[in-house]
Amino acid sequence: MPQPSGYLPALTGLRAIAAWLVFFNHYPLGPVPPPGVARAFQYLVDESHGLPLLLLLSGFLIALRYDTGTPSFRPRGGWRRYLQSRVARVYPLYALLTLATFALLWRWHSPSVTPTQLFLNLTLLRGFFDEYKFTGIGQAWSLTLLECFYLAAPLLLGLRARGVALWLQPLLLLALGAGLVALLAPLHWHGLFGTYPFMLMYTFLGHSLEFFIGVWLAGRYQSGKLGWPVGYWRTAGGVLLWIAVTVALGLTQAQFHNPDHPLTLVLNLLGLPAAGGLFFAGLLSEHSWFRQLLSGSLFQKLGRSSYAFYLLHAGPLAFWVYERLPGIWPLQLLAVQVVSYVVYRVVEEPIRKWLRPARSTVPNAVHKSTK
């Protein structure tokens, strides 16, 4: 049975897999082929989504590290230490790369370089506006979603201890999101909560299920209720279900060509989190070869640099690199992976160590699993 405080290096390796899925979602393997097996495979690759795994992992680790299990809305170690740790983990590299991105856009005389857009990007407010969500480092829209969870997590965990069931909280957040759309969409103000699909696909209120599955798994893991590691059915079942949902997404997109189609929303917001949760449960409780692979030295390095990879793999900075390479995706993937690891070692890691709290109240084993 897993130990609640055990160091799980596979969690670090999993971040590399999730980052690669995001890469393939942003970079098709080539032009869309004629109808047939090749086109089906192309849509399958294009619909590879790694974000649910990253959000699920965040929910798991935040609950594991900071849940006090009491009705208090204060995270373990206090709000100051909690916020300082979260800011040190996410913001410095993002701010530096955002400034570099806008500098490059300014050099290219892009009309998107405005004080308003720079402000919205540096404050992460751009993620609330449909019009601005892809500005700057386009894929970093999800950081707004992530930071909302960081701010809300101690409150949501406290509500659970006060009797608000974990399964009910995503529904309450969804209702809040629907209310904000009903209230703000008629203003037509730069797409601020402008549509229901936007709220569902690009905000924490629509994407909270992944976090809550992670929180639920953290509770099961800490209490030793994930079961004995007999066989690999959870890991294998999670992978197969993930592939099945991805295939369904590809077929839906091929049929309707509409990312806001109701079936696409259901598969993204329910199917992928369910598959990710089953896979994650297997990773936590089963001693599979895949867990051993993710725990290896290579995937530890790739996982630790996955945040830099996530920020660097697309956008003006990446395009500037890709223009100097042949249009071959394995070469592009290798190039951005190498650059990301260098940025992690030279920039991200030193800054994070300098800014994070000097003394942690969290057990060292758990702390290591978040690197």
Tens of each residue's pLDDT in the chain, 371 residues: 444 444 689 999 999 999 998 888 777 555 555 555 555 555 555 555 789 999 999 999 999 999 999 999 999 999 999 999 999 999 999 999 999 999 989 988 888 889 999 999 999 999 999 999 999 999 999 999 999 999 999 999 999 999 999 999 999 999 999 999 999 999 999 999 999 999 999 999 999 999 999 999 999 999 888 876 678 899 999 999 999 998 888 888 778 888 899 999 999 999 999 999 999 999 999 988 999 999 999 999 999 999 999 999 887 777 777 777 777 778 888 988 999 999 999 999 999 999 988 765 444 444 444 44
Please state the domain count of the chain: 1
- Report the share of the chain in percent with pLDDT over 70: 88
pLDDT recorded at residue 254: 77
272, 309 Cβ separation under 8 angstroms: no
In terms of C-beta density within 10 A (0-12 exposed, 13-18 middle, 19 or more buried), how is residue 249 classed?
Answer: buried
| Pick from 265, 270, 271, 269: nearest CA to 244 | 271
pLDDT recorded at residue 34: 56
- Is residue 57 helix, strand or coil? helix
221, 366 Cβ separation under 8 angstroms: no
Which tokens belong to 188? Answer: 């037509």
Amino acid, res. 53 = L
pLDDT recorded at residue 24: 80
Using left for φ > 0, alpha for ψ between -120 and 50, and beta otherwise, residue 113 falls in beta
Integer-rounded Cα Rg, in Å, for the chain is 20
Beta bridge partners of 192: 129
Dihedral sign, Cα of residue 289, residue 292, residue 296, residue 300: positive
Which tokens belong to 323? Answer: 């223009």
Q: Is residue 3 part of a domain?
A: no
In terms of C-beta density within 10 A (0-12 exposed, 13-18 middle, 19 or more buried), how is residue 263 classed?
Answer: middle
CA distance between the termini of the chain: 24
CA distance 180 to 176: 6
pLDDT recorded at residue 369: 44
Domain containing 162 equals 9-368
138, 316 Cβ separation under 8 angstroms: no
Residue ranges in 27-167 assigned as alpha helix (H)? 37-46, 51-66, 79-107, 115-122, 141-161
Q: Is residue 218 part of a domain?
A: yes
Please tell me the number of Cα atoms within 13 Å of 306 on its side-chain side. Answer: 26
215, 164 Cβ separation under 8 angstroms: no
DSSP state of 257: -
Q: Is residue 364 part of a domain?
A: yes
Q: Is residue 138 part of a domain?
A: yes
Q: Is residue 1 part of a domain?
A: no
- Largest Cα–Cα separation, the chain: 59
